[in-house]
Every structure is written in C-alpha cells, then in structure tokens.
C-alpha cells in the first residue's frame, strides 16, 4: 500500500483545485489500495467545503509565510523563510510517505534533506500565463511576476515530477523539467442529468477575482438584457470582488437581471436549471466548471483564455470562443444562443458527447497507473 501525502493551503474554499483534489483522493480510496493524508498549510484550515472520504486523514500544519515581497521571494529560493516548516518536515519523516504531492508551496520539499527518501511532485494547477501581466508596459508588475516565475522554476527543477493540466502548459514547463506529465481534470457523471435548455437562465461559476473577469460578463449582459430582458444571469462563487461587482450591477441598472449567488454545494442542480454557460476568464488552468456545464448538456460561450478552454470548446460546435474582453462579441454570441433554440440544443448535445473523454474512470485510471509506476 503506497502512502500518499498531498499539501494544499486550504480545503475550505469552493474552487476548482480543492474540488478536483477531493474528488481524486476519494476515488483513489474507494477504488484502489492507497493510504492518503492531506495537509492544509493555512492556519486554522481544518474543514472542507467538499465531502471527504472518512478514511482520508486531514491534518492542519500551519506554514506561515513572511510578507510576500520581491526580496523575500528571492531569499526563499536559497533560504528557509517559512516560520513553521520544521513541523511539516518532521511529519513527513515520522509517517514515511512514499509520494508527496504539492498543490501549493514546494519549498519545504526540496529543502528538507530528509533521511527518508520520497517522490516529490509539483502539481501545476494554473496556467503559466498567470506570471505575465496583461500589459507588459506595467514594469513593476512585470518584474514582480518574473521574480516569482524564476523562483518557481528554481524549485520546480528540484522536483521528481511535474503535473500539468494541458499540453499547452506542459510544453512551457518542459523547457525547465524533463518529467512533465499531463493529467486533465475529470467529471463524475453520477447524479448528472442534462438540462432541457428551456429556462431563461445564463449561468457562470468561479471565484470573484480579477482573472475571472466577471466585470466584462456583467457589461456584456447589459447589452443582452436590452433585447432579452426576461433572461437572467446567475453568477456562483465568492471572492474579494464581491462588493465591486455588486456596485457594477447597480450602476448598470441590472439588479433585476444579474445576481451574485455566492458559493453553493448543489451547483449541479444550478447547471441543470440553466440553458447557457458563460466562461469569462482571461486565463485558466483547465476549467472544471466548463466540464461540469458540458456534462449537463449546456452550450458554452467563453473567452479564448489559454489552458483547458480551447481544448474543451470546439468553436461553433459545442459553443463559441470569443476574443478576451470583447464585451460586444460576447453579448452577440449569448444573444444568438438565446434566440436560436435549435442551435442551443445542438451545441448542448455536442457538449455532452465531448465531455465523455474526461470521465472519472478514464482519468483516474491514468492517475493510478502513474502512481503505480513511480
């Protein structure tokens, strides 16, 4: 029985990284013979938004980082700037894990110099594009992100394996590491039924943060509502931009058309009661919510962000791809799906067909084969 350790900052959020990890470890426990522990490194992060299998051990070991500055980031490459890494390293030694996989900070792995050897894996859950600002003439931001990228690359090279979500991102990381494996996200079809696409609801799901660009989506829906005032936009998720987005909704007189619904545990029910899914991120790791929308037979309208978006959406087949932040074209494609019911249904069927490539059984077999081979 192999002993697996996963480290992540917290399981309390409803984000895609948390969801995909929980679904994966639950499946590994139920279908294969693994001993699994998850360590959360945010102080007090002891609960999980998603249900965890009772055989999985969850331990909170706070790793308190010093203030994130350029100097501290540079120092962290060569020195241990973490306050409480010692406890985490001792935990690894005591439990003698075979494989340690990090979905967050990797520093404690390569600095450990542990007597007990183990396989070190970095899971890259975000696209490499996040290291590059939208406007390259923003020199301070560019310098800061390049420092972070240099730090990540240095640590990455100390890992035994790197996991990437897409070939596009994997190609970037292969410039710095030879052993990069592509493992896309997956979808569990249990309890999922296709939408009848009859409701007058457009749905969007994601953290309310800048990179999700819900501001552009809300602005586009102002154009949509001029012709289709009886349609609603429901946005599910939480984040730091909640107040700002709410103010935007009020300023555009959309309080009867656009709704911030927060994070919910029954998101599948919300997909089933919607007719169109819109994904407005300008960069994306893979796009769990797109997979889930496709599984419910929804047509997709999305910005051409890098990562899984261009893999999951075949333009004009199961949805539409729109240039990033093109509010008018985004509204145009939403309007088209609202007005053409037959097109909506055809694209919804194509979504359901394509998503079969990302079934839980197929992707989890790849994970099991990978863990067994190392």
β-strands 276-279, 201-205 pairing: parallel
Q: What is the reported pLDDT for 115?
A: 63
Measured distance CA(184)–CA(105) in Å, rounded:
21
Strand order in the sheet with 99-102: 57-60, 34-40, 2-8, 99-102, 119-124, 161-164, 180-182
Residue 330 clears pLDDT 80, i.e. is over it: yes
Task: Confirm if 233 and 202 have CB atoms less than 8 A apart.
Answer: yes
Task: Confirm if 9 and 41 have CB atoms less than 8 A apart.
Answer: yes
Structural domains in the chain (count): 2
Give the position of tokens 């890992």.
159
83 and 217 part of one domain: no
335 and 211 part of one domain: yes
94 and 53 part of one domain: yes
What is the mean predicted confidence (pLDDT) over 217-234?
98
Token couple for 326:
């093109």
Task: Confirm if 103 and 6 have CB atoms less than 8 A apart.
Answer: yes
Q: What is the reported pLDDT for 110?
A: 53
Residue 129 clears pLDDT 90, i.e. is over it: no
What is the mean predicted confidence (pLDDT) over 200-210?
96
Examine residue 192 and state whether it is found in any structural domain, yes or no: no
Measured distance CA(40)–CA(20) in Å, rounded:
15
- Helix 70-78, helix 139-156: angle, nearest 10: 10
Q: What is the reported pLDDT for 370?
A: 97
CA nearest 48: which of 85, 65, 23? Answer: 23
What is the mean predicted confidence (pLDDT) over 5-17?
88
294 and 366 part of one domain: no
Residue 254 clears pLDDT 70, i.e. is over it: yes
Distances (CA, A) of 60 to 137, 179, 184: 41, 30, 27
Measured distance CA(179)–CA(183) in Å, rounded:
13
Measured distance CA(18)–CA(58) in Å, rounded:
13
Q: Which domain holds residue 51?
A: 2-186+359-373
Residue 53 clears pLDDT 60, i.e. is over it: yes
Examine residue 93 and state whether it is found in any structural domain, yes or no: yes
Mean pLDDT score of the chain, rounded to an integer? 88
Measured distance CA(364)–CA(372) in Å, rounded:
12
212 and 240 part of one domain: yes
Q: What is the CA radius of gyration of the chain?
A: 21
Token couple for 264:
């919910």
| Least trusted range by pLDDT, from 85-94, 127-136, 295-304, 307-316 | 127-136
128 and 225 part of one domain: no
Examine residue 196 and state whether it is found in any structural domain, yes or no: no
CATH value at residue 157: 3.40.50.2000
């Amino acid at each position: 029985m192999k002993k697996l350790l996963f480290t992540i900052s917290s399981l309390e959020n409803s984000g895609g990284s948390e969801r995909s990890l929980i679904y994966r470890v639950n499946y590994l426990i139920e279908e294969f013979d693994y001993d699994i522990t998850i360590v959360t490194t945010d102080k007090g992060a002891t609960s999980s938004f998603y249900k965890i299998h009772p055989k999985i051990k969850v331990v909170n070991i706070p790793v308190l980082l010093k203030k994130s500055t350029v100097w501290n980031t540079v120092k962290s490459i060569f020195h241990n700037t973490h306050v409480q890494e010692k406890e985490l390293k001792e935990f690894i030694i005591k439990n003698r894990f075979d494989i340690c996989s990090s979905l967050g900070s990797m520093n404690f792995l390569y600095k450990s110099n542990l007597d007990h050897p183990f396989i070190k894996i970095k899971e890259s859950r975000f696209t490499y594009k996040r290291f590059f600002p939208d406007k390259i003439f923003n020199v301070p931001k560019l310098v800061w992100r390049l420092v972070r990228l240099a730090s990540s690359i240095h640590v990455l090279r100390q890992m035994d394996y790197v996991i990437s979500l897409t070939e596009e991102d994997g190609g970037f990381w292969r410039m710095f590491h030879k052993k990069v494996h592509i493992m896309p996200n997956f979808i569990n079809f249990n309890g999922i039924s296709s939408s009848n696409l009859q409701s007058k609801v457009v749905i969007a799901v994601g953290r309310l943060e800048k990179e999700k660009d819900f501001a552009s989506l809300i602005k586009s829906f102002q154009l949509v509502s001029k012709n289709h005032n009886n349609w609603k936009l429901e946005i599910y998720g939480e984040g730091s931009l909640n107040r700002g987005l709410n103010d935007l909704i009020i300023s555009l007189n959309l309080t009867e058309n656009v709704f911030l619904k927060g994070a919910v545990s029954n998101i599948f029910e919300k997909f089933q009661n919607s007719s169109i899914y819109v994904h407005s991120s300008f960069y994306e790791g893979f796009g769990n919510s797109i997979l889930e929308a496709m599984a419910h037979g929804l047509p997709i309208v999305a910005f051409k962000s890098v990562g899984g978006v261009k893999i999951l959406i075949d333009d004009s087949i199961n949805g539409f791809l729109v240039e990033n932040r093109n509010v008018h074209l985004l509204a145009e494609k939403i309007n088209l799906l609202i007005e053409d019911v037959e097109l909506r249904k055809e694209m919804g069927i194509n979504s359901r067909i394509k998503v079969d490539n990302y079934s839980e059984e197929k992707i989890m077999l790849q994970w099991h084969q990978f863990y067994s081979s190392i």
